[in-house]
Amino acid sequence: MCRCGVTEPFALQGFDLAGFVSATLAEDMGEGGDRTSAAVIPADAVLDAVLDSRDAVTVAGLPIAAAFFRALDPACTIEILVPEGASVPAGTDLMRIRGKARALLTAERSALNTVQHLTGIATLTRSYVDAIAGTGAILLDTRKTLPGLRALEKYATRTGGATNHRMRLDDGVMIKDNHIAVAGGVEAAVHAAKAAGLRDVVVEVDTLDQIPPALAAGADRLLLDNMPPPMLRQALALVAGRVPTEASGGVNLQTIRAIAETGVTYISVGRITQSAPAADIGLDFA
Protein backbone atom coordinates (compact mmCIF):
# COMPACT_ATOMS: atom_id res chain seq x y z
CA MET A 1 0.00 0.00 0.00
CA CYS A 2 1.45 3.39 -0.94
CA ARG A 3 1.29 6.40 1.32
CA CYS A 4 0.55 9.32 -0.96
CA GLY A 5 1.81 12.72 0.07
CA VAL A 6 2.30 15.62 -2.28
CA THR A 7 0.85 14.59 -5.61
CA GLU A 8 0.70 16.96 -8.54
CA PRO A 9 0.54 16.70 -12.30
CA PHE A 10 3.94 16.08 -13.82
CA ALA A 11 5.10 19.48 -15.01
CA LEU A 12 8.50 20.96 -15.74
CA GLN A 13 7.79 24.49 -16.87
CA GLY A 14 10.57 25.98 -18.94
CA PHE A 15 12.51 22.70 -19.06
CA ASP A 16 13.31 21.10 -22.41
CA LEU A 17 12.56 17.49 -21.50
CA ALA A 18 12.92 16.24 -25.08
CA GLY A 19 16.29 17.97 -25.36
CA PHE A 20 17.43 16.54 -22.03
CA VAL A 21 16.43 13.01 -23.03
CA SER A 22 18.12 13.33 -26.42
CA ALA A 23 21.38 14.72 -24.99
CA THR A 24 21.50 12.12 -22.21
CA LEU A 25 20.96 9.24 -24.60
CA ALA A 26 23.58 10.66 -26.98
CA GLU A 27 26.07 10.87 -24.12
CA ASP A 28 25.47 7.22 -23.21
CA MET A 29 25.26 5.75 -26.71
CA GLY A 30 28.15 7.59 -28.32
CA GLU A 31 28.59 7.31 -32.07
CA GLY A 32 28.34 3.52 -32.25
CA GLY A 33 25.22 2.96 -30.15
CA ASP A 34 24.61 0.01 -27.85
CA ARG A 35 27.02 -2.53 -29.33
CA THR A 36 26.20 -5.15 -26.70
CA SER A 37 22.45 -5.20 -27.30
CA ALA A 38 22.95 -5.11 -31.06
CA ALA A 39 25.22 -8.15 -30.85
CA VAL A 40 23.33 -10.39 -28.44
CA ILE A 41 19.63 -9.38 -28.72
CA PRO A 42 17.66 -10.44 -31.83
CA ALA A 43 16.27 -7.46 -33.72
CA ASP A 44 12.68 -8.65 -33.27
CA ALA A 45 12.97 -9.58 -29.56
CA VAL A 46 10.35 -8.15 -27.22
CA LEU A 47 11.04 -7.22 -23.60
CA ASP A 48 8.47 -7.32 -20.83
CA ALA A 49 9.95 -5.65 -17.76
CA VAL A 50 9.06 -4.08 -14.44
CA LEU A 51 10.66 -1.03 -12.88
CA ASP A 52 10.69 -1.72 -9.15
CA SER A 53 12.07 -0.21 -5.97
CA ARG A 54 14.37 -2.18 -3.69
CA ASP A 55 14.12 0.60 -1.07
CA ALA A 56 11.26 2.30 0.72
CA VAL A 57 11.05 5.54 -1.27
CA THR A 58 9.08 8.61 -2.19
CA VAL A 59 8.73 8.34 -5.95
CA ALA A 60 9.77 11.07 -8.38
CA GLY A 61 10.63 11.00 -12.06
CA LEU A 62 8.68 8.07 -13.49
CA PRO A 63 7.33 10.16 -16.40
CA ILE A 64 10.93 11.08 -17.25
CA ALA A 65 11.96 7.43 -17.23
CA ALA A 66 9.05 6.74 -19.56
CA ALA A 67 10.27 9.49 -21.89
CA PHE A 68 13.64 7.77 -22.27
CA PHE A 69 12.03 4.47 -23.23
CA ARG A 70 9.60 6.12 -25.66
CA ALA A 71 12.44 8.08 -27.27
CA LEU A 72 13.97 4.83 -28.55
CA ASP A 73 10.76 2.84 -28.97
CA PRO A 74 7.81 5.16 -29.61
CA ALA A 75 5.49 2.16 -29.89
CA CYS A 76 6.35 0.66 -26.50
CA THR A 77 3.57 0.32 -23.95
CA ILE A 78 4.14 1.77 -20.48
CA GLU A 79 1.96 1.58 -17.39
CA ILE A 80 2.97 3.84 -14.50
CA LEU A 81 1.72 2.08 -11.38
CA VAL A 82 2.19 4.68 -8.64
CA PRO A 83 1.71 8.46 -8.65
CA GLU A 84 4.50 10.96 -8.27
CA GLY A 85 5.00 11.78 -4.59
CA ALA A 86 3.77 8.39 -3.37
CA SER A 87 5.73 6.89 -0.48
CA VAL A 88 5.98 3.14 -1.09
CA PRO A 89 7.64 0.20 0.67
CA ALA A 90 10.58 -1.77 -0.66
CA GLY A 91 9.56 -4.24 -3.33
CA THR A 92 6.94 -2.03 -4.94
CA ASP A 93 6.45 -2.28 -8.70
CA LEU A 94 6.56 1.26 -10.10
CA MET A 95 6.18 0.81 -13.85
CA ARG A 96 5.49 -1.94 -16.37
CA ILE A 97 6.94 -1.69 -19.84
CA ARG A 98 6.75 -3.77 -23.02
CA GLY A 99 8.52 -3.07 -26.27
CA LYS A 100 11.53 -3.69 -28.50
CA ALA A 101 14.18 -5.32 -26.33
CA ARG A 102 17.17 -3.63 -27.97
CA ALA A 103 15.66 -0.16 -27.63
CA LEU A 104 14.50 -0.57 -24.05
CA LEU A 105 17.81 -2.01 -22.87
CA THR A 106 19.67 0.82 -24.57
CA ALA A 107 17.54 3.38 -22.72
CA GLU A 108 17.65 1.51 -19.41
CA ARG A 109 20.70 3.17 -17.83
CA SER A 110 19.69 6.72 -18.65
CA ALA A 111 16.14 6.13 -17.42
CA LEU A 112 17.31 4.49 -14.19
CA ASN A 113 19.99 7.07 -13.44
CA THR A 114 17.42 9.84 -13.65
CA VAL A 115 14.63 8.22 -11.66
CA GLN A 116 17.07 6.94 -9.01
CA HIS A 117 18.49 10.43 -8.53
CA LEU A 118 15.16 12.22 -8.41
CA THR A 119 13.54 9.60 -6.18
CA GLY A 120 16.52 9.83 -3.84
CA ILE A 121 16.00 13.58 -3.54
CA ALA A 122 12.25 13.23 -3.02
CA THR A 123 12.79 10.53 -0.39
CA LEU A 124 15.29 12.59 1.61
CA THR A 125 13.07 15.65 1.29
CA ARG A 126 10.10 13.72 2.68
CA SER A 127 12.24 12.75 5.71
CA TYR A 128 12.84 16.44 6.45
CA VAL A 129 9.19 17.31 5.93
CA ASP A 130 8.15 14.54 8.31
CA ALA A 131 10.72 15.71 10.88
CA ILE A 132 9.05 19.13 11.19
CA ALA A 133 5.45 17.99 10.90
CA GLY A 134 3.14 19.91 13.20
CA THR A 135 5.50 22.81 13.85
CA GLY A 136 4.13 25.10 11.16
CA ALA A 137 7.60 25.61 9.65
CA ILE A 138 7.90 25.29 5.86
CA LEU A 139 10.81 23.42 4.27
CA LEU A 140 12.53 25.23 1.40
CA ASP A 141 15.07 23.94 -1.08
CA THR A 142 18.02 26.04 -2.33
CA ARG A 143 20.01 26.75 -5.50
CA LYS A 144 22.58 24.11 -4.46
CA THR A 145 21.79 21.90 -7.44
CA LEU A 146 23.81 20.18 -10.15
CA PRO A 147 24.39 22.47 -13.15
CA GLY A 148 21.76 21.84 -15.79
CA LEU A 149 19.55 19.77 -13.49
CA ARG A 150 17.96 22.46 -11.34
CA ALA A 151 14.47 22.14 -12.80
CA LEU A 152 14.53 18.38 -12.31
CA GLU A 153 15.99 18.49 -8.79
CA LYS A 154 13.59 21.19 -7.66
CA TYR A 155 10.75 19.16 -9.16
CA ALA A 156 11.93 16.28 -6.95
CA THR A 157 12.03 18.39 -3.77
CA ARG A 158 8.56 19.69 -4.55
CA THR A 159 7.36 16.14 -5.10
CA GLY A 160 8.85 15.21 -1.72
CA GLY A 161 6.88 17.95 0.02
CA ALA A 162 9.22 20.94 0.08
CA THR A 163 8.45 24.41 -1.25
CA ASN A 164 10.69 25.73 -4.00
CA HIS A 165 12.88 28.69 -3.09
CA ARG A 166 13.95 30.93 -5.99
CA MET A 167 14.79 29.05 -9.16
CA ARG A 168 17.24 31.59 -10.56
CA LEU A 169 19.05 34.77 -9.62
CA ASP A 170 16.36 36.78 -11.44
CA ASP A 171 13.62 34.97 -9.52
CA GLY A 172 14.02 36.88 -6.28
CA VAL A 173 16.18 39.29 -4.31
CA MET A 174 18.46 37.96 -1.58
CA ILE A 175 21.08 40.20 -0.02
CA LYS A 176 23.79 37.94 1.42
CA ASP A 177 26.90 38.54 3.49
CA ASN A 178 29.16 39.37 0.54
CA HIS A 179 26.61 41.82 -0.87
CA ILE A 180 26.49 43.49 2.54
CA ALA A 181 30.28 43.65 2.82
CA VAL A 182 30.72 45.21 -0.62
CA ALA A 183 27.75 47.59 -0.23
CA GLY A 184 29.08 48.94 3.07
CA GLY A 185 26.63 47.45 5.56
CA VAL A 186 23.14 46.06 5.97
CA GLU A 187 21.32 49.40 5.79
CA ALA A 188 23.25 50.52 2.71
CA ALA A 189 22.54 47.27 0.91
CA VAL A 190 18.82 47.29 1.68
CA HIS A 191 18.45 50.97 0.83
CA ALA A 192 20.15 50.34 -2.53
CA ALA A 193 17.82 47.45 -3.31
CA LYS A 194 14.76 49.50 -2.43
CA ALA A 195 16.04 52.47 -4.42
CA ALA A 196 16.33 50.17 -7.43
CA GLY A 197 12.62 49.40 -7.08
CA LEU A 198 13.13 45.83 -5.89
CA ARG A 199 10.40 44.21 -3.83
CA ASP A 200 10.28 41.23 -1.45
CA VAL A 201 13.87 41.81 -0.40
CA VAL A 202 15.34 38.97 1.66
CA VAL A 203 18.31 39.90 3.84
CA GLU A 204 20.77 37.42 5.33
CA VAL A 205 21.88 38.27 8.86
CA ASP A 206 24.28 36.26 10.96
CA THR A 207 24.37 38.43 14.07
CA LEU A 208 21.60 39.81 16.26
CA ASP A 209 22.83 43.39 15.90
CA GLN A 210 22.17 43.26 12.13
CA ILE A 211 18.45 42.70 12.65
CA PRO A 212 17.29 46.18 13.76
CA PRO A 213 19.04 48.04 10.92
CA ALA A 214 17.83 45.50 8.37
CA LEU A 215 14.24 45.97 9.50
CA ALA A 216 14.59 49.74 9.72
CA ALA A 217 15.86 49.85 6.15
CA GLY A 218 12.84 47.94 4.89
CA ALA A 219 13.85 44.26 4.65
CA ASP A 220 10.83 42.17 3.72
CA ARG A 221 12.20 38.90 5.10
CA LEU A 222 15.17 37.87 7.18
CA LEU A 223 17.38 34.86 6.57
CA LEU A 224 18.83 33.94 9.96
CA ASP A 225 22.09 32.27 9.02
CA ASN A 226 23.81 29.59 11.11
CA MET A 227 22.01 30.51 14.32
CA PRO A 228 21.50 27.77 16.93
CA PRO A 229 18.00 27.51 18.46
CA PRO A 230 18.68 29.75 21.51
CA MET A 231 19.99 32.48 19.21
CA LEU A 232 17.08 31.97 16.83
CA ARG A 233 14.67 32.61 19.69
CA GLN A 234 16.47 35.86 20.48
CA ALA A 235 16.31 36.83 16.83
CA LEU A 236 12.59 36.09 16.63
CA ALA A 237 12.00 38.21 19.73
CA LEU A 238 13.74 41.13 17.99
CA VAL A 239 11.75 40.60 14.80
CA ALA A 240 8.51 40.40 16.80
CA GLY A 241 6.53 39.07 13.86
CA ARG A 242 7.14 42.07 11.63
CA VAL A 243 8.50 40.02 8.73
CA PRO A 244 8.75 36.31 7.86
CA THR A 245 11.93 34.57 8.96
CA GLU A 246 14.04 31.82 7.45
CA ALA A 247 16.58 29.65 9.24
CA SER A 248 19.48 28.39 7.16
CA GLY A 249 22.94 26.91 7.44
CA GLY A 250 24.09 23.51 8.62
CA VAL A 251 20.57 22.13 9.02
CA ASN A 252 20.32 18.34 9.16
CA LEU A 253 17.80 15.70 10.23
CA GLN A 254 19.10 15.74 13.78
CA THR A 255 18.75 19.51 14.21
CA ILE A 256 15.80 20.55 12.07
CA ARG A 257 13.05 19.76 14.61
CA ALA A 258 14.57 21.98 17.28
CA ILE A 259 15.02 24.74 14.71
CA ALA A 260 11.41 24.44 13.58
CA GLU A 261 10.15 24.59 17.16
CA THR A 262 11.65 28.07 17.63
CA GLY A 263 8.84 29.43 15.46
CA VAL A 264 10.72 30.38 12.28
CA THR A 265 8.56 30.65 9.18
CA TYR A 266 10.85 28.78 6.82
CA ILE A 267 13.85 26.46 6.99
CA SER A 268 16.06 26.14 3.89
CA VAL A 269 18.11 22.98 3.48
CA GLY A 270 20.77 22.49 0.82
CA ARG A 271 21.33 18.87 1.82
CA ILE A 272 18.12 17.66 0.19
CA THR A 273 19.66 18.24 -3.23
CA GLN A 274 23.38 18.12 -2.39
CA SER A 275 23.48 14.99 -0.26
CA ALA A 276 20.59 12.76 -1.32
CA PRO A 277 21.68 9.18 -2.08
CA ALA A 278 20.32 7.55 -5.20
CA ALA A 279 17.37 5.26 -4.62
CA ASP A 280 17.84 1.58 -5.41
CA ILE A 281 15.49 1.13 -8.36
CA GLY A 282 15.96 -1.53 -11.01
CA LEU A 283 14.50 -2.82 -14.25
CA ASP A 284 13.76 -6.53 -14.06
CA PHE A 285 12.70 -8.99 -16.75
CA ALA A 286 9.05 -9.87 -16.14
Active site residues per annotation: 109, 144, 176, 204, 225
Beta pairing partners, 245: 222
Cβ 67 vs Cβ 90: under 8 Å: no
Q: Which of 55, 57, 91 shows the shortest CA–CA distance to 284? A: 91
* Pairing between β-strand 86-88 and β-strand 93-100 as defined by DSSP bridges: unpaired
Q: Classify 3 as helix, strand or coil.
A: strand
Give the helix/strand (H/E) hosting 110. helix 101-131
Q: Which of 148, 52, 62, 75 shows the shortest CA–CA distance to 111? A: 62
| CA angle at 177 for the pair 164 and 151, rounded to the nearest 5° | 20
Residue 256 to residue 4: CA distance in whole angstroms: 23
* Pairing between β-strand 221-225 and β-strand 77-80 as defined by DSSP bridges: unpaired
Residue 226 has a CB neighbour count (10 Å cut-off) of 12
Give the amino acid at 160. G
Residue 284 to residue 286: CA distance in whole angstroms: 6
The residue count for the chain: 286
Alpha-carbon distances of 166 from 114, 134, 144, 157, 163, rounded to whole Å: 23, 25, 11, 13, 10
Residue 246 to residue 267: CA distance in whole angstroms: 5
